[in-house]
A and B are shown apart, each in its own frame.
Chain A
Amino acid sequence: MAARRQSGPWGGQRAGAGGAPVTRLRAVDSESYADWDAVYRDNIGLVHRLMFAKVGNRPDAEDLTTEVFLAALRPLRLPASVGEVRAYLLATARTVLARHWARTLGHQVTSLTEDPEQAPAAPLPEPTAAPERARQILAALPDRYRQILQLRFLEACTVAEAAQVLGISVANAKVLQHRAMRRAADVAAGLE
């Protein structure tokens, strides 16, 4: 699989198979991309969702998404198949994300794991695992811990709003949230 990726549109051999006319072909089916614009439109949502699931905030997700497209599109030889392009975007995203964590927290907090079984034509992994994983973590917590985390992370409440809903002081809400986070991290480690 890895060999096929490397000999894809970035290996430099593709344009030789018939010369210039190949690049003049417009993609008429959904299996290949004719130009960078098509690559961008079809994958911007996927790459952004993937990055958001790995960093959890919009400014970083936007920066990393930008980095992926700036790095990946220039060396891309088009037309290329959807599978090849996505495998390349994913490989680029993996490197960009690893660099982000090395430079910000000094730990690989999250990663895009390489799946050797993944076929080149497989789509980018949709980060649908996040809601299911979050559900599992929350379900394993005591009621008060689950409530504060749901209010803050899922329902976008401020600390003050969450404190009011739970009928406790703001200071107590902060402490409750911190303890809940600590317990949630233990639960998450147990799920791995």
Chain B
Amino acid sequence: MIVRSLTRYIEDLIRSRRPRRFKASEDEAAMIRTAITLRAARPGSGEPTDEFVASLHRKLAAELEPPPDRRPAAARRTFLRTAAAAGGAAAAVAAGAGIDHVVSSRTAPGPAPAAGGTLTPSHGTWLTVAYSSDLPDGAVRPFTVGAVTGFIERADGQLRAVSGICTHQGCRLAFAARSARLVCPCHGATFALDGTVLTHRLPVPLEALPRIEVREVGGAVQVYAPLTDL
């Protein structure tokens, strides 16, 4: 028999909502304990968000610092600037964009664009990442070629490739075969193989993964990627 309070509690854990209290039996407590163990094993899920770290810092500054001689606002600004710069720099590396651009777009209000676009290197070329025979219909393969890391898929005869780097802070994504999605080990964001964002618990908008141009020539699967010898 399924007990409703328990089922709801476990569902809340899975979706990272606040679970509702109830009078649990020993058996129910044991199941919740196990559910917590499994949930805590989801990659990166225990990391605090930048938003929480900054807001608790503000709260503590208000509690602990005497207003007249020390200025909590100044400390807070420094702290936020540091956090924003760190996040922005990582995102810049991930996107291969200029650091100035990413930091300024983070500071500016308004949501980030949802589309990841297509990787268009200034000096690109077609590079072989797999043999056609290694990529039957339905297969997904990770690849790294020069500066680009990604995943390539053949579905219904069509090839497609996306970047394998999380658009949040640049962690390398892992492919979860059963659910056919890409999972970030750092904060648990998940992406579909076409690059769209499926789930994330971040306080900032998350961009889709850039797509990568892909073609098949003479039994070789190739992606359009930058030349690394500059």
Interface: B178 (CB within 8 A)? yes
Interface: B93 (CB within 8 A)? no
- Determine whether the beta carbon of B23 is less than 8 Å from that of A36: no
Looking at B44-52, B144-152, B164-172, B219-227, the stretch in contact with chain A turns out to be: B44-52
- Determine whether the beta carbon of A70 is less than 8 Å from that of B60: yes
CA distance A156 to B183 in the complex (A): 9
Interface size range of chain B in the complex: 35 or more
- Determine whether the beta carbon of B22 is less than 8 Å from that of A153: no
Within 8 A of B (CB), among A145-182: 147, 149-157, 161-162, 165, 174-175, 178, 181-182
Interface: A34 (CB within 8 A)? no
Min CB gap A35→B, angstroms:
9
- Determine whether the beta carbon of B48 is less than 8 Å from that of A147: no
Within 8 A of A (CB), among B35-91: 35-43, 45-49, 52-53, 56-57, 59-60, 63-64, 75, 79
Q: Among B21, B59, B190, point to the contact of A155 (Cβ < 8 A).
A: B190
Min CB gap B52→A, angstroms:
5
- Determine whether the beta carbon of A110 is less than 8 Å from that of B75: no
Residues of A within 8 A of B (CB): 36-37, 40-41, 44-45, 48-49, 52-62, 65-66, 69-70, 73-74, 103-107, 109-110, 127, 130-131, 133-135, 137-138, 147, 149-157, 161-162, 165, 174-175, 178, 181-182, 184-185, 187-189
Residues of B within 8 A of A (CB): 2, 7, 10, 12-14, 16-19, 21-24, 26-43, 45-49, 52-53, 56-57, 59-60, 63-64, 75, 79, 176, 178-179, 181, 183, 188, 190, 198-199, 201
